[in-house]
Structure 1
Amino acid sequence: MKIPRFADLILFENDDVIVVNKPPFISTLDERGDGSSEINMLRLAKGYSADAQICHRLDKETSGALIIAKNPEAYRNVSIQFEKRKVNKVYHAIIEGTHVFDNLLVDLPILNTGKGHVSISRQDGKRAETWFSSLKYFKHYTLVECRPVTGRMHQIRIHLATQQAAIAGDDMYRAKPVFLSQLKRKYHLGKDQEELPIMKRFALHAYEVTFKPNTEESITIHAPYPKDFETLLKLLDKFDS
């Protein structure tokens, strides 16, 4: 995989913080217990700004807006905003099936069961809330806006799965990848060719973040869709609307 230039990912920067559009397939931090030298967003950020610290996590496959502090004071400021739930995050997801979510609140506690797995547990889980609104309908899929109030691991993914609306390509929650042959009639593969999915990951993108970069007013930064997400939407528009 081609390593991106950190400067090319920047959406906003001042003396205290940087907001980048994180590409898919790059971890936010070192993978837990992974001593490998695999590239991650923290290493890329430190190569650009020596004291850089990541303020929150995005799953490796998730693309989109990621806040990075350039100094300890800025890190403390943003961390407090996350703790007090003052940071507003908006994600876009392409989900299986046609679902009409009109400001639907999913309020189901999430238990981290370890090794990158979570489950819904009313007894032992931690409070988790996400709001969902449908943005665009296709015959077999829906583009959905997701607004998490809390920040639990896999929160959006598992909350959607509880609505029988798992994110396209999210095999952990039993969703299938999208293939062009499913959408396009009379689609023919060449002999001995193997068809690859339109997106090689689950279709989740951190679209927007609103926070206070210092003590001034809030700013809203929105992260354009990466190429794979945009391609899937264009093909759904063309063949599944």
Structure 2
Amino acid sequence: MSEQIEHKETVPESCLGKRLDQALAEMFPEYSRSRIKEWILAGHVSVNGAVISKAREKVLGGEAVIIKAVVEAEQRFEAQDIPLNVVYEDDDLLVINKPADLVVHPGAGNPDGTILNALLHRYPDIAVVPRAGIVHRLDKDTTGLMVVAKNIAAQTYLVDALQHREITREYEAIASGQMTGGGTVDEPIGRHATKRTHMAVTISGRPSVTHFRVMEKFRLHTRLRLRLETGRTHQIRVHMAHIQHPLVGDPLYGGRPRPPKNATPELLSELRGFKRQALHAAMLSLYHPTTGELMTWHADVPEDMVKLTDTLRDDSNENQEVEY
């Protein structure tokens, strides 16, 4: 199974001095850099009308690039019968409400049992779409909405919309510490200098912007609504930890539970037992790749976060000072 693709784009000036394969990987993130390099070496890429067969060729910016290639079905990953909570589906896309403890894409430590494996089983034709149509990811223990493209045209459109910040994603979260008001964290995020599984705010990172507003205050915690302007790995988790308000239960960035003074036994138990980051993708909004219609989906906050919120609220009420 295979599909013919053709892309025509202009190399952005921001790619000045970069290798051709690196520039194309940034321009077409739906394809891996290794796949793009294979296309270059096979003569499937032309720059300003001339076929370029060297991946290390440098670009200046402004060049007209054409890619004509055949995308073969991805055979490396196994199709597996894994349940998916599909909240919307048509010929071009589907929207999934992801549970906790489910990885989106196979990787180190998770060779299978992922959403990608489930997609290959449920939609065999999606094998020709890069990454089985996955446009963006959620961390293993983050719950909520994510969109998947069912064909290459839809994926190209959605990846471009994501890059141009035309897809709106809002999250619910519970953070440590009492926050006084909303705001924006505008700090670049990149790989941590020494902890390779961690991300961090770093001057050499990629631009990253997270907006947040306070929904409810507790004694020593805050329920937040957050909107992503960019979509970096672990973005919300890193940004909230950076401003000293890490998410409850975050195993990488959260540290130990932080109960308030005289916390109720129920709250102590909830905080100690909450083993994932309290983060849920609650709203997704985008323009449909074929119809152009603005579509919006909502996903209820999962039961574990509802219970934690209720327990925090009960603790606040029980410890409220009585005014005489």
| TM-score, normalised with respect to structure 1 | 0.85
- Say yes or no: does 1:54 pair with 2:118: no
Any residues of structure 2 matched to 1:5-20 within 5 Å, and which? 5-6=83-84, 9-20=85-96
- What do residues 132-157 of structure 1 show as CA deviations (whole Å, max 9, x unaligned)? 10111111211011111111111111
Q: Which residue of 1 aligns with 2:184?
A: 105
- CA–CA separation in structure 1 for the residues paired with 2:95 and 2:271: 32
SS state of the match for residue 133, structure 1?
strand
- Say yes or no: does 1:75 pair with 2:150: no
- CA–CA separation in structure 1 for the residues paired with 2:135 and 2:316: 38
SS state of the match for residue 272, structure 2?
coil
- What do residues 2-25 of structure 1 show as CA deviations (whole Å, max 9, x unaligned)? x9622xx11111111111110011
Q: CA deviation at 1:117?
A: 1.3
What number of residue pairs does the alignment pair up? 228
Query: Is this contact kept in 1: 2:237–2:247, CA < 8 A?
Result: yes
Q: CA deviation at 1:36?
A: 3.2
- What do residues 21-44 of structure 1 show as CA deviations (whole Å, max 9, x unaligned)? 10011111002x34633x111111
Q: Which has the higher contact order (CA 8 A, sep 6+)?
A: 1
Q: Which residue of 2 aligns with 1:192?
A: none
Structure 2 residue identity aligned to 1:134: V
- What do residues 114-172 of structure 1 show as CA deviations (whole Å, max 9, x unaligned)? 732112112x1111111110111111211011111111111111111121111011132
Please, which of 202, 207, 215 is the counterpart of residue 121 of structure 1? 202
Q: Which residue of 2 aligns with 1:201?
A: 276
Any residues of structure 2 matched to 1:67-216 within 5 Å, and which? 67-102=147-182, 104-113=183-192, 115-122=196-203, 124-177=204-257, 183-185=263-265, 197-215=272-290, 216=292
Q: CA deviation at 1:107?
A: 0.7
Q: CA deviation at 1:176?
A: 3.0
Structure 1: gaps (5+ residues): 190-194
SS state of the match for residue 105, structure 1?
strand
Task: Please state which structure has a larger fraction of its residues in helix.
Answer: 2
Q: CA deviation at 1:183?
A: 3.8
Greater Cα radius of gyration, structure 1 or 2: 2
Label 1:59 to 1:233 Cα distance change in 2 as closer, same or farther (>3 A): same
Query: Is this contact kept in 1: 2:103–2:110, CA < 8 A?
Result: no
Structure 2 residue identity aligned to 1:211: L
Q: CA deviation at 1:83?
A: 1.4
- Please identify runs of 4+ aligned residues in structure 1 that moved more than 4 A: 185-189
Label 1:80 to 1:187 Cα distance change in 2 as closer, same or farther (>3 A): closer
Query: Is this contact kept in 1: 2:133–2:150, CA < 8 A?
Result: yes
- CA–CA separation in structure 2 for the residues paired with 1:27 and 1:87: 22
| TM-score, normalised with respect to structure 2 | 0.64
Sequence identity percentage = 30
- CA–CA separation in structure 2 for the residues paired with 1:87 and 1:59: 18
Query: Is this contact kept in 1: 2:187–2:209, CA < 8 A?
Result: yes
Structure 2: gaps (5+ residues): 1-80, 127-131, 318-324
